[in-house]
């Protein structure tokens, strides 16, 4: 096995390495990046739908001089049942990096175990580390050091919430999550983060979570793969909508954040999403630079 690093979780990078990624992302944002992927190929596997992640990775690899290749289950032997471990070894023989969006987190872990090249998690049911790293980069651009600041999460304890918990441990901000009972974040992610010193609190009252926060985050009430639960979840999450009244509880210069796609009138009102405190477009834009920096970092190891 060749030595290589994967990025399956924010915990795969040390706090110092995250700062390195942020400063290189800043450079990528300032000017066209160096052609560090010349002659290299990156395969992008999407077992779930994507707009932002797919296009930002595809464009980012091209901007660095590399060749991106998108693979979907329908268009490959993956959809006809070829074992993942076989696919992993074949792709690693052709490509220099594998980016994968899938369902169970064990699938990216299996890919990383069998592929002899860096594997990047482009979203699993458990985590969405590329998104949250880009979100934290976006916040540091506005507030500089996040240590000791308060960030709020309102809604489902999903893949995004779990990654925010990991980010809280790495970057030292306080995280308050307001989730309905029964929709808490992953217990193992939470307890491991608390052991690493994360200041994370789960509450039931959105106003309590938002109070004094510099950023109020939310996400869809039913994630990809939970489409059958969308109807029943609407009732459960009704009181967890991010409204202007909730934003008014946050710090005076607080921002609204959402990984997108958003469901206006469900998890967030139109006025908040389109309001002056919303940084959702900036977040999406920064995916490009932060992911470029992650690929560059992993291929340098």
Rg of the chain over Cα atoms, rounded to whole angstroms, equals 19
Number of other CB atoms surrounding residue 263 within 10 Å: 15
User: Which of 128, 149, 233, 258 is an active site residue?
Assistant: 128
Binding site for ligand NVA (CB under 6 A): 123, 128, 158-160, 219-220, 223-224, 259
Binding of ligand CP by 50 (CB under 6 A): yes
**Residue placing its CB nearer to ligand NVA in the complex, 37 or 151:** 151
Count residues binding ligand CP (CB under 6 A): 8
Which partner from the list ligand CP, ligand NVA, none does 220 bind, CB cut-off 5 to 8 Å by kind? ligand NVA
Binding of ligand CP by 51 (CB under 6 A): yes
- CA dist 161 → 59, 66, 271 (Å): 27, 32, 23
The verdict on whether 287 is a catalytic residue reads yes
Q: Which pair of structure tokens corresponds to residue 73? A: 């289950």
**Residue placing its CB nearer to ligand CP in the complex, 123 or 214:** 123
**What does the DSSP assignment read for 180-207?**
-TT-PPPHHHHHHHHHTT-EEEEES-HH
279, HSE (Cβ side, Cα atoms, 13 Å):
23
How far is the C-alpha of 41 from the C-alpha of 90, rounded, in Å? 13
Q: Which residue is nearest to ligand CP (CB)?
A: 53
State the nearest-atom distance from the C-beta of 78 to ligand CP, in Å: 19
**Residue placing its CB nearer to ligand NVA in the complex, 89 or 264:** 264
Instruction: Tell me which residues are annotated as active site.
Output: 101, 128, 131, 219, 259, 287
């Amino acid at each position: 096995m060749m030595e290589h690093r994967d990025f399956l979780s924010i915990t795969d990078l040390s706090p110092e390495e995250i700062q390195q990624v942020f400063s290189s992302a800043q450079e990528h944002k300032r000017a066209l990046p160096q052609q560090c992927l010349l002659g290299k190929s990156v395969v992008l596997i999407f077992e779930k739908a994507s707009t932002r992640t797919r296009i930002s990775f595809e464009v980012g690899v091209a901007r660095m001089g590399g060749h991106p290749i998108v693979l979907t289950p329908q268009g490959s032997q993956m959809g006809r049942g070829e074992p993942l471990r076989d696919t992993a070894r074949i792709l690693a023989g052709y490509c220099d990096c594998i980016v994968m969006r899938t369902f169970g987190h064990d699938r990216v872990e299996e890919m990383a175990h069998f592929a002899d090249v860096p594997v990047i998690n482009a979203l699993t049911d458990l985590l969405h580390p590329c998104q949250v790293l880009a979100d934290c980069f976006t916040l540091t651009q506005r507030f500089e050091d996040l240590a000791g600041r308060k960030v709020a999460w309102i809604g489902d304890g999903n893949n995004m919430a779990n990654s925010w918990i990991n980010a809280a441990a790495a970057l030292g901000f306080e995280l308050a999550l307001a989730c309905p009972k029964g929709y808490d974040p992953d217990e193992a992610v939470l307890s491991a983060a608390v052991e690493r010193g994360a200041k994370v609190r789960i509450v039931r009252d959105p106003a309590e979570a938002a109070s004094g926060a510099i950023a109020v985050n939310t996400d869809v009430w039913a994630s990809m793969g939970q489409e059958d639960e969308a109807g029943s979840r609407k009732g459960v999450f009704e009181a967890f909508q991010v409204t202007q009244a909730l934003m008014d509880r946050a710090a005076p210069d607080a921002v609204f954040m959402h990984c997108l796609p958003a469901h206006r009138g469900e998890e967030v009102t139109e006025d908040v999403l389109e309001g002056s405190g919303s940084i959702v477009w900036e977040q999406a834009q920064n995916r490009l630079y932060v992911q470029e920096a992650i690929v560059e970092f992993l291929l340098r190891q």
